[in-house]
Amino acid sequence: AVVSTQSTGCPPLKNEHALRTMNFLHSAAHQAPTISTATNMNAGLVRLKEKHTARLTPDLKRSMCSKCKVVLVPGNTARVRVRSKGGNQFRVVSCVVCGLSKRYMVGEQQLKIEQCPFFHNT
């Protein structure tokens, strides 16, 4: 599922057509023949998300660059590294197109934080 409304506290989408369109754009972007086509589809997905005040699932947010909206494919458009800092391990995903880097916690530390009652996915 592309849009998460149950666990985030957002009201469910009233427009079923928008939900179907966002799901289509997500699947089509991953199968697009060129990077520019996939980028345009992801940009359209983000525009629909903002228009209908929907939240994307964390997996979907991590599969596209938040700066240039390109689909992140490890080894093709993304460089993925595992780094350690202060006893914690992080997965560092860098976009090859624009250079943006994101860090995501890996392992048991991530599970402990997600189980905390004050943890909110935004």
Over the stretch 4-26, which tens digit does the pLDDT of each residue have? Answer: 555 555 556 677 888 888 889 98
pLDDT in tens, 27-83: 999 899 898 999 999 999 999 989 988 888 888 888 899 999 999 999 999 999 999
- CA gap 87, 107 in Å, rounded: 11
Token duo for residue 59: 């997996």
41 membership: H or E segment, kind and range: helix 35-51
- The predicted model scores a pTM of 0.70
Does the CA dihedral 43-48-53-54 come out positive or negative?
Answer: negative
Interaxial angle between packed helices 35-51 and 16-30, expressed in degrees from 0 to 180 and rounded to the nearest 10: 160
89 membership: H or E segment, kind and range: strand 88-95
Secondary structure class of 4 (helix, strand, coil): coil
